[in-house]
A and B are shown apart, each in its own frame.
Chain A
Amino acid sequence: EAQVTQNPRYLITVTGKKLTVTCSQNMNHEYMSWYRQDPGLGLRQIYYSMNVEVTDKGDVPEGYKVSRKEKRNFPLILESPSPNQTSLYFCASWDPPYNEQFFGPGTRLTVL
């Protein structure tokens, strides 16, 4: 089954404790991206990757890091999480430019 998976689905952590949210896709898509969803703001792009070892900032990259060492994986790293990073995070993959993005199920992160 074609899918994007994210882990964990739910995470409660404390300020400053480094965490990683994993994302994996099995569709051999070139592009992958991370979004955060906040009420009234829709989804905003954090980082995206056009291929292995090629990443770039989206609209709201501050406080986040990513890496793309393999085509299928695109982890999101919060080195020192803060409460303003409490949000719902989605990973997506697609083949540009025309095709729709496939989204993972979301990761709800709470930073206390």
Chain B
Amino acid sequence: AQKVTQAQTEISVVEKEDVTLDCVYETRDTTYYLFWYKQPPSGELVFLIRRNSFDEQNEISGRYSWNFQKSTSSFNFTITASQVVDSAVYFCALRFNNAGNMLTFGGGTRLMVKP
């Protein structure tokens, strides 16, 4: 069975601090896909990034960066110089090539950025 664990249920930082959100996954498949979604207070789910299991390159997009390490089954997300608008719940998710193409979500990390 596949599983995604986001051990940090809630993180609070002060604006301009860097913050890393942890994501650890379990799967027996060799081909799988990892995703991060953001859920702001308004409630919608916003896609941030996807990674496939064959691509371990780290990625940077503005203040956001992702560190994918197959050796430790982790796909961590760092926000540099956090801003109040980054306050949201962040979900890590895993999909493998099963019949249903099902997406398994972690429990989410609530990030609060204080001014």
Contact = CB atoms under 8 A, between A and B. Distances in A.
Name the prevailing secondary structure of the A interface residues. Answer: strand
Nearest to A102: B47
Interface of A: 31, 33, 35, 40-45, 48, 50, 56, 58-59, 88, 90, 92, 94, 96-103, 105-106
B43 A56 contact: no
A48 B107 contact: no
Contacts of B6: 42
B33 interface: yes
A3 to B, nearest CB: 11
Interface size class, chain B: 20 to 34
B19 interface: no
B52 A98 contact: yes
A42 B100 contact: no
Contacts of A50: 99-101
Contact of B101 (A41, A48, A105, A106): A48
A88 B67 CA distance: 30
Nearest to B45: A103
B101 A45 contact: no
Contact of B50 (A35, A41, A45, A100): A100
B89 to A, nearest CB: 9
Contact of B106 (A31, A42, A88, A96): A42
B100 A58 contact: yes
Contact of A106 (B37, B43, B103): B43
Given A42-B91, A98-B33, A98-B52, A31 B44 contact: no
B32 to A, nearest CB: 9
